[in-house]
């Protein structure tokens, strides 16, 4: 398996989110009603949409489960690789410094002895990090599907109210009912401060944070091995305001490199972290500070500080513009009404233009992000979004009603004739037709079990007499039908009867 990185995973979740929203809108568009004034039409429409929602739920559960598994299995690799990478990069840096005259204070025997314990502790910490990250992902994936279902249900129920309030057309009523959802997206992750974000954003942040911790762990292990613990926080053109006070300063890394206050005349990195350095979503970083080799830090001038703050503001402005473009794009692509589509398109273009101007006016600082507005494409295990949509659609088509061939015989959806151990389930799939065999006294019969729109077994067609002619005085060779009644989610009664003419025609191929 090729592990995914945090950007692949963000893309994958964004694509899943988009597919969840768009397949809902496809359902809304497919089951449109012509005569929107009739209350009766609306209750029929609601019933039909609720049925479509049930299918939507089941399909999504089935289709996205394997994608989620694939994503979750990438987390181990991602975190472990970051640790190795950190260790390798740091080794190169230290060897380079030695070439330039740095003299390691490594006392090998002592270093190796204490390192073993240090590494074991790190192993445990990273294992705990991987476990916690995976659990967070699993919870969030469930929340993502659940939110899509809840929003779909809500839209089904409020569309009628918008119609009564004078929306005008079916398309406009649906657009008004779905507007909030299309605007916010599936923002199923709630932070402690109440802010809500989508799974894609959350996943990238969570993996970046975990990956950074693992990378710093790997780096720290290498420093520890060579007996150096001083680090310097890198200068960056647009450092985040919270990290600005620490930029260009030297610290003793007591967090990842096993440093102690007695290692030198610098503050501890842990105290900077306690004061905001490396907050979530932080882009700042540090490198090893080689006393006498690394150029000593200069105090930053007020002009420097102002320039950094201005760069940061511009970067944030660009990100905001890009978010607005994506928001209007989702509304444009998700709306059913032509006027609405045009309105949102104009808005989208307006924000895109605004962003282009911002970038060109500040082209020494800002860079165009070619992916910023792009429609996402699922590309997991080589499977494209189109394939996934087709799979999704095929499943919906297969189980949306009973189907018949040219001779009028019902089409079997689930064939288990070759499966001797197969137990006929009471619930299978909507409109499923299951075919099985039974052998009694050397005679093999082909039987069918028919399921209703709620996936419940409602009828069985038995093509023979189960080798008990006395108990089955039906038809020509004992063929008969069983009918099942359901109550409160359980089978309440079963009756046996002659097959009707229609049933004989539908099942003529096995009689």
DSSP string, 280-302: TT----EEE--TTTSPPPPPPPH
Instruction: Give how far Cα 306 sits from Cα of 125, 235, 323, Å.
Output: 39, 14, 26
Residue 428 · residue 416 · CB < 8 Å: no
Residues contributing to the site for Zn ion (CB under 5 A)? 240, 243, 282, 284, 462
DSSP string, 6-74: HHHHHHHHHHHHHHHHHHHHHHHHHT--S-TT-HHHHHHHHHHHHHHHHHHHHHHHHHHHHHHHHHHHH
Nearer to Zn ion (CB atom), residue 69 or residue 496: 496
Least distance in Å: CB of 124 to Zn ion?
Answer: 27
Nearer to Zn ion (CB atom), residue 10 or residue 284: 284
Round to whole Å and give the CA distance between 365 and 358.
10
Least distance in Å: CB of 368 to Zn ion?
Answer: 24
β-pairing verdict for 383-384 and 196-197 = unpaired
Round to whole Å and give the CA distance between 57 and 511.
36
Nearer to Zn ion (CB atom), residue 242 or residue 383: 242
Least distance in Å: CB of 212 to Zn ion?
Answer: 11
Nearer to Zn ion (CB atom), residue 83 or residue 286: 286
Least distance in Å: CB of 50 to Zn ion?
Answer: 34
Nearer to Zn ion (CB atom), residue 144 or residue 308: 308
Nearer to Zn ion (CB atom), residue 168 or residue 241: 241
Least distance in Å: CB of 375 to Zn ion?
Answer: 31
β-pairing verdict for 383-384 and 379-380 = antiparallel
Round to whole Å and give the CA distance between 18 and 29.
16
Nearer to Zn ion (CB atom), residue 245 or residue 264: 245
Nearer to Zn ion (CB atom), residue 392 or residue 460: 460
Q: Would you tell me the crossing angle of helices 39-99 and 385-398 to the nearest 10 degrees?
A: 150
8-state DSSP, 261 = G
Least distance in Å: CB of 483 to Zn ion?
Answer: 11
Least distance in Å: CB of 416 to Zn ion?
Answer: 17
Instruction: Count CA atoms within 13 Å of residue 52 on its CB side.
Output: 21
Least distance in Å: CB of 125 to Zn ion?
Answer: 22
> For residue 468, with 0-12 CB atoms within 10 Å meaning exposed, 13-18 middle and 19 or more buried, which class applies?
exposed
Nearer to Zn ion (CB atom), residue 66 or residue 494: 494
Contacts of 198 (CB under 8 A, 6+ apart): 13, 14, 17, 185, 186, 187, 188, 189
Nearer to Zn ion (CB atom), residue 109 or residue 495: 495
User: Side by side, which strands form the sheet with 230-233?
Assistant: 250-252, 230-233, 286-288
Nearer to Zn ion (CB atom), residue 20 or residue 240: 240
SS3 assignment, position 166 = coil
Round to whole Å and give the CA distance between 373 and 370.
7
Strands (DSSP E) found in 60-205: 189-190, 196-197
Nearer to Zn ion (CB atom), residue 184 or residue 282: 282
Least distance in Å: CB of 69 to Zn ion?
Answer: 33
Nearer to Zn ion (CB atom), residue 181 or residue 484: 484
What letters, b where the CB count within 10 A reaches 16 and e where it falls short, cover 361-397? ebeebbeeeeeebeebebebeeeebeebbeebeebbe
Least distance in Å: CB of 473 to Zn ion?
Answer: 12
Least distance in Å: CB of 504 to Zn ion?
Answer: 16
Instruction: Give how far Cα 494 sits from Cα of 223, 311, 482, 497, Å.
Output: 75, 75, 7, 10
Contacts of 435 (CB under 8 A, 6+ apart): 412, 414, 415, 416, 417, 446, 447, 448, 510
Least distance in Å: CB of 180 to Zn ion?
Answer: 33
Least distance in Å: CB of 419 to Zn ion?
Answer: 19
């Amino acid at each position: 398996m090729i592990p995914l990185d945090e950007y692949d995973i963000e893309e994958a979740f964004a694509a899943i989110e988009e597919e969840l929203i768009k397949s809902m809108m496809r359902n809304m568009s497919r089951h449109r009603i012509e005569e929107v004034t009739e209350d009766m039409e609306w209750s029929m429409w609601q019933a039909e949409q609720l049925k479509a929602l049930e299918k939507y739920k089941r399909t999504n559960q089935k289709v996205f489960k394997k994608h989620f598994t694939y994503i979750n299995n990438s987390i181990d690799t991602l975190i472990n690789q970051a640790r190795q990478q950190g260790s390798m990069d740091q080794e190169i840096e230290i060897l380079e410094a030695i070439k330039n005259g740095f003299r390691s204070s490594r006392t090998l025997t002592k270093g190796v002895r204490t390192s073993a314990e240090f590494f074991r502790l790190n192993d445990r910490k990273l294992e705990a990090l991987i476990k916690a990250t995976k659990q967070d992902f699993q919870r969030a994936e469930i929340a993502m599907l659940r939110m899509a279902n809840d929003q779909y249900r809500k839209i089904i129920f409020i569309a009628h109210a918008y119609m009564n309030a004078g929306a005008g057309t079916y398309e406009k009523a649906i657009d008004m009912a779905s507007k909030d959802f299309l605007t916010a997206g599936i923002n199923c992750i709630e932070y402690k401060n109440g802010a809500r974000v989508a799974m894609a954003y959350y996943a990238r942040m969570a993996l970046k944070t975990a990956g950074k911790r693992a990378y710093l762990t790997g780096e720290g292990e290498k420093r520890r091995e060579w007996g150096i613990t001083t680090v310097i926080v890198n200068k960056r053109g647009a450092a985040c305001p919270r990290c600005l006070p620490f930029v260009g300063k030297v610290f003793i890394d007591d967090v990842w490199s096993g440093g102690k206050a007695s290692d030198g005349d610098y503050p501890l990195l842990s105290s900077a972290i306690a004061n905001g350095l490396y907050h979530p979503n932080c882009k700042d970083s540090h490198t090893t500070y080689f006393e006498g080799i690394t150029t000593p830090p200069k105090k930053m001038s007020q002009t420097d500080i102002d320039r950094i703050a201005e760069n940061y503001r511009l970067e944030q402005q660009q990100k905001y513009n890009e978010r607005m473009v994506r928001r209007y794009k989702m509304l444009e692509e998700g709306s059913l009404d032509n006027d609405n589509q045009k309105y949102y398109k104009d808005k989208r273009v307006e924000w895109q233009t605004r962003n282009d101007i911002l970038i060109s006016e500040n082209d020494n600082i800002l860079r165009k992000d070619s992916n910023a507005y792009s429609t996402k494409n699922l590309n997991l295990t080589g499977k494209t979004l189109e394939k996934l949509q087709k799979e999704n659609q095929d499943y919906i088509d297969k189980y949306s009603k009973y189907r018949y061939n040219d001779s009028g015989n019902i089409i079997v959806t689930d064939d288990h004739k070759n499966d001797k151990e197969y137990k006929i389930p009471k619930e299978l799939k909507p409109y499923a037709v299951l075919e099985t065999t039974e052998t009694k006294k050397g005679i093999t019969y082909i039987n069918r079990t028919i399921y209703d729109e709620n996936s419940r077994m409602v009828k069985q067609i038995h093509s023979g007499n189960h080798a008990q002619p006395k108990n089955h005085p039906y038809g020509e060779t004992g063929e008969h039908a069983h009918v099942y009644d359901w109550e409160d989610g359980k089978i309440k009664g079963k009756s046996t009867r002659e097959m009707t003419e229609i049933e004989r025609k539908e099942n003529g191929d096995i009689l």
